[in-house]
């Protein structure tokens, strides 16, 4: 797992590690500069490809730029540094970095007018070392003019730590803000890099480890970003001599006369993930329709009301099936009918196996969220923002406040919460929060949430913990959408297309 911090946390860690010692501070600056150098070498391996411009501010971000410039000179690249301040004002680590760059016969032009940057378009690469992670609001006029010139040049930009002008905590850009092709972020990624529009402005994010001492990080509340190795560990192995029962049985309580597609999508996704059996409980009048859509699913008819949704009297039917299942999905396509609402509440109260609550399962608790505490089962809820608002009230706008809100709610209700969005956020009842920057706008289509529900309930049926099922589910859905979008575009992908790519992702995870 990769730790994600906000800007104040990063500054606290940095200050704790350096403790005012310029020598130690410069050792970290050397690591930062080396990370920038490596990113350039990887993406521009021919050091004769053209000249590189490094635009430096007066702080340590500018110092990182001077270190990178010196190292690139030593590698044989042609480099020109532009300083947005009088170099005589530099001190500490940044002054050391400048002096070492100049000692290597590096050139510096102090920029007093935007026209000094008018020839930037002749460079093959611009390294943005103007502003660091501390900026809030719009850049000051002098820096703003320089940022506009950099963006106007059309040259690829490598940003140091964050693109200059971007709020590292919120992902909200100042006016103006660098639009980077790559961002080499130091130590840890920052929260705002994963929230739009910041995520787009950062381009591809490269994390340069600085290896801070563990005691400088201890006690700082972080967010976790799962890596592929973490997700692979969470996926249970297949049982070579196992039966379908050994691989888990998922029970899906989904669908109504008006929403047969929701149930079909949930079942289709669940089957592709790998559980041994998928059982679907639907109103008896749509049994034939569902049988025509689903070949491998075991379909059970339930008593229904006149509107084609499940009747409350089906509670006994459902309860009788619970002992034979390993995980239960409640919600997709059930409707908001009063009998359904009462049935969902009484069913959840009596379930002991892990439950995935989505869509109309969540809506059943509108105005009565406290009733979610009255249960013994492990629970995952997968709301989008509107479903969250119906249950708990509107979410705040700032990423840090959203994260705190879902963390506190997961602890209070003893559950795992997957908040759908881009990025997806997951909070576990132990207070841990994860950020999943996977997926794209192809998921902003009807049925995507149903696919996610099927993925997660299948994983839980296979014995995966609620938090790992949520992590795997968010990743599988997002990556499947990415792959399908490369073939069809984000415009054309629909939910059933995403199911087709689940095997590709499962094969990648099972390596």
- 241 in a structural domain: no
Same-domain status, 285 and 219: no
Same-domain status, 184 and 319: no
- pLDDT for 115 equals 77
Q: Which of 261, 303, 232, 228 lies closest to 454, judged by CA?
A: 261
Two tokens at 152? Answer: 């106007």
Same-domain status, 286 and 213: no
Strands 108-110, 416-419: pairing kind: unpaired
- 302 in a structural domain: yes
Same-domain status, 214 and 326: no
- 232 in a structural domain: no
83: CATH:
3.40.50.10260
Instruction: Count the domains in the chain.
Output: 2
End residue of a domain, out of 225, 258, 280: 225
Q: What does pTM read for this prediction?
A: 0.90
Q: Are the C-beta atoms of residues 182 and 158 closer than 8 Å to each other?
A: yes
- pLDDT for 233 equals 94
- pLDDT for 384 equals 94
470: CATH:
3.40.1190.20
Sequential DSSP letters for 1-37: -EEEB-HHHHHHHHHHHHTT-HHHHHHHHHHHHHHHH
- pLDDT for 19 equals 86
Same-domain status, 265 and 411: yes
- pLDDT for 46 equals 77
- For residue 173, the 8-state DSSP code is B
Contacts of 192 (CB under 8 A, 6+ apart): 162, 166, 167, 168, 169, 170, 171, 172, 198, 399
- pLDDT for 133 equals 87
- 240 in a structural domain: no
Same-domain status, 367 and 494: yes
- pLDDT for 462 equals 96
| Rounded Cα gap, residues 242 and 432, in angstroms | 34
Same-domain status, 259 and 329: yes
- 287 in a structural domain: yes
| Rounded Cα gap, residues 399 and 171, in angstroms | 8
Same-domain status, 207 and 281: no
- pLDDT for 134 equals 80
Same-domain status, 196 and 318: no
Same-domain status, 173 and 290: no
- pLDDT for 132 equals 85
- 237 in a structural domain: no
10-residue stretch averages of pLDDT, the chain, 511 residues long:
89 88 89 92 83 89 91 91 84 88 86 78 92 85 88 93 93 93 93 93 92 82 91 93 91 94 95 95 93 92 92 94 95 93 94 95 92 94 94 91 94 96 94 93 94 97 96 96 95 96 94 78
- 231 in a structural domain: no
End residue of a domain, out of 185, 210, 225: 225
- pLDDT for 272 equals 95
- pLDDT for 211 equals 87
Angle at the Cα of 502 (from 500 to 504), degrees rounded to 5?
Answer: 100
Same-domain status, 211 and 259: no
- 458 in a structural domain: yes
3-state helix/strand/coil string of 319-371: HHHHHHCCEEEECCCCCCCHHHHHHHHHHHHHCCCCEEECCHHHHCCCCCHHH
Give the domain range for residue 11. 2-225
């Amino acid at each position: 797992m990769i730790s994600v911090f906000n800007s104040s946390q990063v500054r606290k860690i940095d200050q704790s590690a350096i403790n005012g010692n310029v020598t130690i501070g410069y050792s970290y600056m050397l690591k930062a500069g080396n990370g920038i150098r490596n990113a350039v070498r990887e993406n521009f391996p021919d050091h004769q490809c053209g000249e590189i411009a490094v635009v430096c501010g007066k702080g340590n971000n500018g110092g990182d730029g001077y270190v990178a410039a010196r190292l690139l000179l030593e590698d044989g690249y042609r480099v020109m540094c532009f300083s947005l301040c009088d170099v005589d004002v530099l001190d500490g680590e940044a002054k050391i970095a400048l002096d070492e760059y100049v000692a290597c016969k590096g050139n510096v032009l102090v920029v007093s007018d935007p026209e000094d940057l008018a020839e930037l378009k002749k460079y093959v690469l611009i390294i943005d070392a103007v502003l660091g992670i501390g900026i809030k609001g719009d850049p000051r006029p002098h820096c703003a003019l320089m940022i506009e010139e950099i963006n106007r040049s059309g040259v690829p930009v490598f940003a140091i730590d964050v693109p200059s002008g971007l709020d590292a905590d919120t992902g909200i850009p100042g006016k103006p803000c660098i639009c980077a092709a790559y961002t080499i972020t130091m130590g840890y990624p920052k929260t705002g890099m994963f929230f739009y529009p910041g995520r787009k402005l950062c381009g591809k994010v490269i994390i340069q480890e600085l290896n801070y001492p563990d005691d400088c990080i201890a006690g700082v509340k972080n967010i976790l970003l799962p890596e592929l190795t973490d997700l692979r560990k969470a996926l249970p192995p297949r049982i070579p001599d196992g039966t379908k029962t050994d691989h888990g049985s998922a029970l899906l309580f989904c669908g109504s006369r008006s929403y047969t597609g929701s149930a079909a999508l949930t079942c289709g996704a669940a089957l592709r993930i790998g559980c041994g059996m998928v059982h679907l409980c639907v109103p008896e009048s749509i049994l034939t329709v569902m049988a025509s859509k689903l070949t491998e699913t075991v379909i059970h008819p339930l008593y229904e009301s006149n509107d084609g949704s499940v009747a409350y009297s089906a509670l006994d039917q459902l309860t009788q099936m619970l002992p034979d299942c390993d995980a239960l999905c409640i919600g997709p396509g059930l409707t908001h009918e009063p009998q359904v609402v009462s049935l969902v509440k009484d069913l959840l109260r009596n379930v002991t196996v892990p439950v995935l609550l989505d869509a109309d399962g969540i809506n059943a608790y509108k105005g009565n969220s406290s009733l979610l505490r009255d249960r013994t089962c492990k629970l995952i809820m997968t709301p989008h923002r509107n479903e969250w608002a119906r249950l708990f009230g509107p979410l705040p706008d700032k990423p840090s406040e959203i994260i705190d809100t879902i963390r506190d709610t997961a602890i209070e209700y003893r559950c795992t919460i997957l908040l759908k969005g881009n990025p997806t956020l997951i909070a576990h009842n132990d207070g841990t929060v994860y950020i999943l920057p996977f997926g794209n706008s192809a998921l902003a289509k009807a049925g995507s949430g149903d696919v996610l529900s099927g993925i997660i309930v299948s994983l839980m049926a296979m014995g995966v913990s609620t938090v790992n099922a949520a992590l795997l589910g968010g990743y599988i859905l997002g990556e499947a959408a990415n792959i399908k979008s490369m073939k069809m575009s984000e415009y054309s992908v629909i939910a059933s297309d995403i199911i087709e790519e689940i095997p590709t992702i499962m094969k990648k995870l099972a390596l």
